[in-house]
Chain A
């Protein structure tokens, strides 16, 4: 059995990658992807701990989380499409009509 610490390390690595992407990128689609990576790192944690403890609650939550992520991605990409139609870009730095 693969030791738990490896799962946690993988999860931490994915979280850090996602966070890094979120902080540095300005492209809407890249940001969405980073958010997905963050969510999935959490899912890995959930499933790993669930398997380690004999308790399925974690896996159930992971399924919920995946469904949620799908819905969020749907709404997020829809917004990006509208933004693209309006501004011709999804570089979020250029979309600043409400900024001072």
Chain B
């Protein structure tokens, strides 16, 4: 029943966008309740659809012809439904919180309109049934992120951050589009006879034709699509826009980092997983880039003093985990999609929670700088405790959601190494897990523990902001345990296998994807029976690094301080300098790359444009103008001239006729 109204999941937020942008100015709170209600209705619908399709393991697929051989359609399979549930739920929380957070901002109506469109774009991206439609919503997400990051557009730093986000993700988008074009041309070459109602870029058609496309082409397509994901999901080297995206309101950061935007890239790779699996070396690229990003971002998170920047680097790092989780699918097959998506969902809950808590703190304290906070817990109990919940789960404290999801990625990364696919992702993931725990609790202790380091305002946030925090905290803490309890004694070798992994991991069975066959093409076929049994130390290592990291942070930054950060590093320590300078990224990207290389290219292009392209066009037009100017003289505008010509012509004609009648041969 609910699935007949699936289109409303996107339709309602778009309606809310239209209503708020036109009527919001006249309504209390900028008409924000439209957006909240529309998103919540989307959640109800998604949940209804989930209840309908989960028991029988069905999928929803509706499609209609659009133009040429493209279609528009809705595809809700396990992969999409978990995303839909997460996006609608987390966005409902964030929008509710924003009702309190944005109170009094003159642009409130604009905020809620853009936020509604942002949500709609992300939902549309998730339930697209073909790559072209996905790309359109993908661009819409990019546009909305630009609008929202630059929400306070009068602030120069916000305007430039928005521009940066737009341009950097554009690099990825161009690659994504190139990947689509390459895939399309390859599929056209196959001359497929499509069954009725099937179209070229539909996921089903793509999955079906993977075995027919040449493997080297597949690798190119996969790498280009991954380029899109790198831009959107802030992977190295296109991660630079994410920390700057903090210039928007905190709720926007929460949306971008948790529910919408950045998860789109991971979702794209998950959605196209069979293609990556069939393409030789593609998943290796994904795994290595992901693992490197996880570690790289975590090191920068260690030294930041801006509360939102720490969280931003933590997002980059966690997205690296998700990518690595997908990448190690080379060894694990589609199971890794389940693992990675679980981390994505869990991460959405706790990252939204952490950002909203940070927003609550900033709202009250009035600064972003960790050095000016301290001892906030005394004044903001609820915010502090919910943020503690978020921090625990981000650090991977045992039996929180983050623990289950990250633990699973690290263990599968171990198996990836043990099966001979390379140890690098595993090593990076473990080190990054340790750093994650340290910087998360460094943040928490610096904000909430110790003595106040400046004279800030002290008040707890209103309940409309705290309510979402509490709900998100409950999910962040208990979702993993809950899912594991559901299936205790169920199927799966451990008895308590998380049903999420199998539900999402078996997503591609609905499309009849044969991973055995694809593995042969991709060149990572694994013999059956080559089960890896990880030693106990491997199983407990994530717990050890998680708890160990928290302890280290406590020893350095809490009231039980035993060490000072000056003991391990000094002002002149080059490593510390590099981290504080963020690996000279700004110098490399902006000063060197943008201002030297790109500016030089721009100058040359400009000259070619002016001299050659414009020059040619101008010459052609000058010739036409000159020619016309000469010919124009014929049209004197003096009637007598025309008349003379007519009379003369007539006379000549008459003479000719006369001559002809006299028998003269002309």
Within 8 A of A (CB), among B624-652: 632, 635-640, 643-644, 647
Which residues on B sit within 8 Å (CB–CB) of A96?
Answer: 637
In the assembled complex, the Cα of A96 lies from the Cα of B640 at a distance in Å of: 14
The residue from A23, A92, A100 contacting B643, defined by CB atoms under 8 A apart: A23
| Cβ-based interface call for A85 (8 A) | no
Knowing A22-B640, A23-B640, the reply to whether A100 touches B635 (Cβ < 8 A) is yes
Do B632 and A100 have beta carbons less than 8 Å apart? yes
Interface SS, B side: helix
* Residues of A with C-beta under 8 A to B636: 99
Is the interface on chain A under 10, 10 to 19, 20 to 34, or 35 or more residues? 10 to 19
> Does A98 interact with chain B (Cβ within 8 Å)?
yes
A contact face: mostly helix, strand, loop, or mixed:
helix
CB neighbours of A26 from chain B (8 A): 640
Interface residues on B, range: 10 to 19
Q: Report the minimum CB–CB distance from B649 to chain A (whole Å).
A: 13
> Which one of B632, B635, B637, B647 contacts A23 once the chains associate, using CB atoms below 8 Å?
B647
Q: What residues of B have a CB within 8 angstroms of the CB of A92 in the complex?
A: 638-639
B502 to chain A, nearest CB (A): 83
Shortest distance in angstroms between B639's beta carbon and chain A's nearest beta carbon? 8
Q: Say whether A19 faces chain B, with CB atoms less than 8 Å apart.
A: yes
User: Which residues of chain B have C-beta atoms less than 8 A from A99's C-beta?
Assistant: 636-637
Nearest CB of B to A35, in Å = 11
Q: Across the interface, do A23 and B644 meet the contact criterion of CB distance under 8 Å?
A: yes
A80 CB, nearest partner CB in chain B, Å: 14
Nearest CB in chain B: distance from A38 CB, A: 11
State A10–B647 Cα separation when bound (angstroms). Answer: 20
Chain A residues with Cβ under 8 A from B647's Cβ? Answer: 19, 23
Residues of chain B contacted by A93 (CB below 8 angstroms): 638
Interface mask (A64-100 → B, CB under 8 Å = 1, otherwise 0): 0000000000000000000000000000110010111
Alpha-carbon separation in the docked complex, A23 to B648 (Å): 11
- When chains A and B are docked, how far (Å) is the Cα of A96 from the Cα of B636? 10
Complex CA distance for A23 and B641, rounded to whole angstroms: 8
Q: B634 CB to closest chain A CB, in angstroms?
A: 11
Measured CB to CB, the closest approach of chain B to A67, in angstroms, equals 25
Q: Write the chain B residue with the least CB distance to A22.
A: B643
How far is it, in angstroms, between the C-alpha of A99 and the C-alpha of B637 when the chains are bound?
6
Question: Nearest chain-B residue to A20 (Cβ)?
Answer: B647
Q: Chain B: residues with CB nearer than 8 A to chain A?
A: 632, 635-640, 643-644, 647
Instruction: Beyond the given A22-B643, A96-B637, A99-B637, please list 5 additional residue pairs across the A-B interface where CB-CB is below 8 A.
Output: A19-B647, A22-B640, A23-B647, A92-B638, A99-B636
Ranked nearest first, the 9 interchain pairs of A and B with the lowest CB-CB distance are: A99-B637, A23-B640, A23-B644, A100-B632, A23-B643, A22-B643, A19-B647, A96-B637, A23-B647
Would you mind naming 19 contact pairs between A and B with Cβ atoms under 8 Å apart?
A: A19-B647, A22-B640, A22-B643, A23-B640, A23-B643, A23-B644, A23-B647, A24-B640, A26-B640, A92-B638, A92-B639, A93-B638, A96-B637, A98-B637, A99-B636, A99-B637, A100-B632, A100-B635, A100-B637
